[in-house]
Amino acid sequence: MEELVFPAGDEPDYIPISMLNELEYCERCFWLYYVLGAEEVNAPLLEGRLLHRRANTPGVERDGDTLIHRRVYVWSDRLRVSGFADFVEERAGELVPVEFKHGRMGRWLNDHIQVCAQAMCLEERTGEKVDYGQIFYWGSRRRETVKITDELRAKTEAAIRRAFEILASGEIPQPLKRRAKCRDCSLEGICMPREVLRLLEMDEGSG
């Protein structure tokens, strides 16, 4: 029996924006990180943390015409999310959230959802529209631009709704059946997707 940390009706008021990234990647991952506080510190994770140190230090600096705010706290009362943007850049009156990732751009939308949530929080806080954000991938040394489209906004809001639904259910989501994501997941040793799926199959078979 899995531990219930958020019984139905006892969900948090706000969900950390970074956890939307986990949720979009894998709902079970979201639960393991957020509800159970699971963590497997491996070499890539440690490297990411070390590279992230600068982004974790609050401050402001100027680079030419761009004013760079580091580690900016943002939140949305409408969406019920809060968290930190690694950087918010002010360029010609525009605000641009910039997220720092240590790897390369993946095939999934999880990083985009995180930046979009930051953008929507910034909009709510400032009243200014945010048209795009950026993700700097250390692995490729590239900045990817993320347009904050209506479609991405809708996906982000759906992810937030899903996060609250999962917490309200009080049940850990099942492992993914398509295991492409599991190969890159640092929680695989804790999650044990193959073993858990096998046990679930055996349980169904005996019922």
CA distance 26 to 184: 11
Q: CB under 6 A: which stretch of 73-81, 93-101, 110-118, 175-183 binds ligand SF4?
A: 175-183
Out of 29, 122, 130, 160, the residue judged to bind ligand SF4 by CB under 6 A: 29
DSSP codes joined into one string, 15-43: EEHHHHHHHHH-HHHHIIIIIS------H
Out of 26, 95, 113, 167, the residue judged to bind ligand SF4 by CB under 6 A: 26
Out of 20, 32, 79, 130, the residue judged to bind ligand SF4 by CB under 6 A: 32
Q: CB under 6 A: which stretch of 23-31, 46-54, 59-67, 160-168 binds ligand SF4?
A: 23-31
CA distance 72 to 51: 18
The tokens for 23 are 């949720």
Q: Which of 150, 96, 147, 148 is nearest to 126 (CA)?
A: 96
Q: How many CB atoms lie within 10 A of CB 82?
A: 18
Per-residue binding letters, 177-206, with ligand SF4 (x by CB under 6 A)? ----xx--x-xx--x-x-------------
Task: Work out how close the CB of 189 gets to ligand SF4 at its nearest, in angstroms, rounded to a whole number.
Answer: 8
Q: Does 162 bind ligand SF4 (CB under 6 A)?
A: no
Task: Work out how close the CB of 67 gets to ligand SF4 at its nearest, in angstroms, rounded to a whole number.
Answer: 38
CA distance 30 to 20: 8
Cβ-based nearer residue to ligand SF4, 34 or 84: 34
Geometric angle at alpha carbon 126, from 82 and 97, rounded to 5°: 60
Q: Which residues bind to ligand SF4, rule: CB under 6 A?
A: 26, 28-29, 32, 175-176, 181-182, 185, 187-188, 191, 193
